[in-house]
Amino acid sequence: MRILVTAGPTREYIDDVRYISNASSGRMGYAIVSAIVQAGHEAVLVSGPVSLPAPLDCEFHAVESTEQMMQTCRELFPACDGVIAAAAVCDYQPKSRVKGKISKTGDGIFLEMIETDDVLAALGQCKEHRWIVGFALEAQNERENALQKLRRKNCNWIVLNRPEAIAAENNSVELLDETGRTVAHWEGPKSQIAGDLVKWIADQVG
């Protein structure tokens, strides 16, 4: 199989030096890429800015903004069998970016925010014969929100995890299918969960 993986955060700039982002380390996505390669499949990684070295033996594409991730994934997805979307994409961006650097004046500033493009939903719209595994990081109404995300974005399965997973070495996740049923539950090091996830997908679609 040839599998597209998204990983890490995206950044949305307020001015030329400040940006909005999140605390995603990219560890889960990078562990998935390593598991894909170890299982003998091809991995295509689209990664936001992280401190991790690019995994060996994969096709690597570095991006920064949500728009860049969207464009890159749209270009790469048609040549892949499926996608595992582990990236923590920014949901909002400033309506306009200020050129240069905003100077301190002693007063507060107000930012008008708009939604970013939805990378996972865009891939779901052009899925056709390909499969999609999404990730849902939820803090309340966890299963309900994850299932809504799965259906709204046309995923085949979705990995439900929680805020404790951010930048952690270990994780605990549930894999939900389109009916809302938990088809798998894994916990432990992210490398182990990644291996279990890749094996499970290969068993289903291979």
Beta bridge partners of 135: 159
Beta bridge partners of 184: 175
Most distant pair of Cα atoms in the chain: their distance? 61
Query: Which tokens belong to 92?
Result: 């909002």
Concerning whether 22 is annotated as a catalytic residue, the answer is yes
What is the rounded CA–CA span in Å between residue 166 and residue 39? Answer: 26
- DSSP H/E element including 93: strand 92-94
Burial class of residue 169 (count of CB atoms within 10 Å of its CB; 0-12, 13-18, 19+) = exposed
User: Which of 22, 156, 161, 170 is flagged as catalytic?
Assistant: 22
Residues with a catalytic annotation lie at: 22
